Structure 1
Amino acid sequence: MEQPTGIEELAQRVALVDAAVRPIANRPVDVNDPDWVTRMRQGPAPLDEAGVRAEAESALRALIALYAQGDEALRVSVRALLSRHPSFRWATHLPFEPTPEGFRQSLLHMSAVDQGSDTRDELLALRDLCADARTAGVDLGPILREVAELSSREDKYGMGSMRDILLGVANP
């Protein structure tokens, strides 16, 4: 398959994956069932259940590359695309590679998601990501500062902008 060259082509791919995983993302969960957590963990990952893992991960890798290489207008477009497709955003992640570049890719993804639907979830994910990278011997500060410069300055939920959050972790 030919790699997409622009945001328009990626938007079509993201929309298709979003539509495929939306029923899974919106499926009710009976939290009164004492085994609900076990059932969720034992079930297939949403991308696998929908049969779209390869397409989703390919689109996400291309989005991250555009985000990293693009200007501010393109980064705003990528953030908006992910905001419009919450099921894609929820289901699609790349495995963490315990290297400086793997950490950078994960941070770029987090920056593009721009706090998602809940800053608290992103803060927990950032804490875990930094712990994994630190364990792998990655020097976090320079990469956090680099990605912070590409990140949104908008304080979406009253807990600081993505840029400020990343800089706060880089410069405690």
Structure 2
Amino acid sequence: MAAGPHTVVMLDDLAARVSRLDRAIAPIANRPVDLSDPGWADRLLEEPPAAEQAGVADEAAVVLAALLTRYAEGDESTRTAIRGLFRNHRSFQWGVGMSFPADTAERFRRQLLLISARDQGLDTRDELLNLTELCREATAAGVAIGPVLREVAELSSDVDRYGMGSTRRILLRCVPEEEPDRR
């Protein structure tokens, strides 16, 4: 699918919305954390998601869904532009996610599309932990993860951002050698 003028307009609109969301979430994303306080981690886990704290959760969910749909259906230039939106809007990247489990092939796919679009995010190690947990969760739910990992890997970047491999390579490394037959 080639990117035409209509696609550019839609991405421009989404870019403006991402920018607004990024500004709304930034005070939460950039809030200092006192690591010397023994209860800091528990307090962070108890807080509502950043987009909810900023009062933009509904809009963030709509924008994220639109971005991931365009990412999955678009050509490489569209996917590159969306990766750039995530890279250039760090608070949005950090504070917007999905709250549903990876318990079906489609939900697992949506979660992987987000990982692919974030293109290793702010820290590859965090994305690897997230990916490992998603694969464990999907496998426990009976999802055949190999085909979904391969599908999303094909849409992913080949750029090794932080010396740990490209997003494509990272996703492909998670494909099980032999996956049990799933119904």
**TM-score > 0.5, shorter chain as reference:** yes
AA in 1 matched with 2:109: R
What is the DSSP-based 3-state SS (H/G/I as helix, E as strand, rest coil) of the residue aligned with 1:6? helix
Partner residue of 1:36? 40
1:26 pairs, out of 24, 30, 37, with 30
Counterpart Cα distance in 2 of 1:13 and 1:60: 10
Shift of 1:47: 1.1
Q: Report whether the alignment pairs 1:115 with 2:150.
A: no
Say if 2:160 is the partner of 1:155. Answer: yes
Shift of residue 38 of structure 1? 2.0
Q: Secondary structure, in 3 states, of the residue corresponding to 2:174?
A: helix
Amino acid at match of 2:169: D
Look up the match of 2:62. 58
Counterpart in the other structure of 1:126: 131
Number of the residue aligned with 2:174: 169
Distance across 1 between alignment mates of 2:128 and 2:22 = 24
Could you tell me which of 93, 99, 104 is aligned with 1:95?
99
- Percent identity, please: 51
Q: Does 1:145 align with 2:156?
A: no
Q: Which residue of the partner structure matches residue 46 of structure 1?
A: 50
Take 2:24 and 2:100, find their aligned partners in 1: how far apart are those partners? Answer: 24
What TM-score do you get using the length of structure 1 for normalisation?
A: 0.94
Instruction: Look up the SS of the partner of 2:68 in the other structure.
Output: helix
Q: Root-mean-square deviation (CA), in Å?
A: 1.1
Amino acid in the other structure paired with 1:69: E
**Deviation digits for residues 70-108 of structure 1 (CA, Å, limit 9, x no counterpart):** 000000000001100010110100123411000001001
User: Given the alignment of the two structures, is residue 82 of structure 1 paired with residue 101 of structure 2, yes or no?
Assistant: no
- Counterpart-to-counterpart distance in 2, 1:129 and 1:147: 14
Structure 1: unaligned runs, 5 residues or longer: none
AA partner of residue 77 (structure 1): A
Note the C-alpha offset of 1:45: 2.1
1:171 CA displacement: 5.0
SS in 1 for 2:110: helix
Question: Equivalents in 2 of 1:55, 1:93: separation in Å?
Answer: 12
Distance 1:54 1:156 in 2: 31
The CA deviation at 1:115 is: 0.1
Structure 2 alignment gaps of length 5 or more: 1-8, 178-183
In structure 2, give the amino acid aligned to 1:39.
R
Q: Does structure 2 conserve the Cα–Cα contact (< 8 Å) formed by 1:96 and 1:103? A: no
